[in-house]
Amino acid sequence: MRGDKLIIEAHHRSAAEAVKAHVGAAYADHPKPLIVSIGGESGSGKSELGRALVDVFEATERHVLLLQQDDYFRLPPKSNDRKRRQEITWVGMGEVRLDLLDQHLDALRRGAREITKPLIDYEADEILEETLAAAGAEIVIAEGTYTATLENVDCRVFIDRTYIQTEASRRRRARDAQDTFIERVLEIEHGIISKQISRADILVTADYSVVTAAREST
């Protein structure tokens, strides 16, 4: 998303190194591109971890693409906030074109040389388009609140921090007004996102330790 503000700190970079090690060990022989999602609640550090993960992979000369769920919202951010305040039931997965994001991941998996995707301009409150060159991509990272639900993902990373734990980082990022309505939105999102932890392959804990998730047997 154009105009987004990221504050990447040492704990994001150390977690990215640990995620890279986990991915390298578990998916060394996986067909390319390997598609990794980073999910979790608002303010948990998904965007920061995603960018840091790009950096650590590119440091080893890997071709990496990063897709942000924020670009796939049906409405640009300020318009979306107004819609939420008019109709609280708008809050949830239906706000996002997850089907389109999944289609783009599928196209990349099938070897697409480029994709044309939405690009949100935060300050202008507009949805634009951009074309990403994808030829030779070895790793695709999709980050966003609901990305654990995407089907075309090989490895799901989940940051296990609730909206209560992320209050300080949300205020520092200062992307949305912090008021009682936003707290209500975050509570609704928590009810949706917290259930998605069961799909995780890799967990980033509240203190940014990285562990292999214990998956329930089916």
Instruction: Express each pLDDT in 49-89 by its tens digit.
Output: 999 999 999 999 889 999 999 999 999 999 999 999 999 99
Q: What is the pTM of this model?
A: 0.91
Picking from 23, 36, 13, the residue whose alpha carbon sits closest to that of residue 137 is 36
Q: Average pLDDT for residues 177-205, to the nearest whole number?
A: 93
Residue 3's pLDDT band (boundaries 50, 70, 90)? confident
Provide the pLDDT for residue 136.
Answer: 92
- Secondary-structure percent of the chain, ordered helix, strand, coil, rounded to 5: 40, 20, 35
Domains within the chain, CATH numbers bracketed: 10-212 (3.40.50.300)
In a 3-state reduction of DSSP, which class is residue 204? strand
